[in-house]
Every structure is written in C-alpha cells, then in structure tokens.
Amino acid sequence: MDCRIKSGNDGLANEQEQRESDKMPEITISMAAGRTDEQKAGMMRDITQALVKNLGVDADAVVIQINEAPLAHKMKGGKTFVERAAAAKK
C-alpha cells in the first residue's frame, strides 16, 4: 500500500488561500484490489482520525481516495499478485 499526503495546491493566488488549503489534507492510497468495502471504510476512518489528532484539522476537511489495481495489474518481485497467490498455494 502506498500512501501519499497532498496538502494544498501548487500555485495558489495568495497566502490566505495557501493557509486554508494547508488545513485540507488529501490522502491517496494505492493498493491491490481484494479488501472488502468495510475494511476500506474502516481504514479511511482510522486515517481521518489520525489526521484530526496529529494535524489538528476537522474531519470534514480530510479527503481520502483509494486507487485499487487488479491483482493481475500489480507486480512484486517479477511476479503479478495473481502469480504470487498461485505459487503460495502450491
């Protein structure tokens, strides 16, 4: 899973816009497909609460997006995740 935090936008018009955008963190999570909607929602809730606690932002300001790749489209160690799962069953 890869997690990147984007806080604000590049090239904002003025300092006030920059200060306000710093309060709206955007989190993008890249991961292999296969988790349930409940697992993903729980993870996003936990991340939201971590940002509220550690960054002092309102939960309503936190945006989280999950980008999922099919297991056949994600590779580690020269094998797709489908190939790795098949090898693990042998």
**How many domains are contained in the chain?**
1
**CATH code for the domain of 80:** 3.30.429.10
pTM of the model: 0.70
pLDDT digits (tens, 9 = 90+) for 2-33: 555 554 544 555 565 555 556 789 999 999 99
For residue 46, the SS3 value is helix
Give CA–CA dist 50/3, Å, rounded: 14
Parent domain of 39: 2-89
pLDDT at 1: 55
**Closest-CA residue to 61 (of 26, 13, 10):** 26
* Catalytic residue set: 25
CB burial of 52-74 (b: ≥16 within 10 Å; e: otherwise) equals eeeeebeeebbebebeeeebeeb
pLDDT band for position 84 (cuts 50, 70, 90): very high
pLDDT digits (tens, 9 = 90+) for 37-67: 999 999 999 999 999 999 999 999 999 999 9
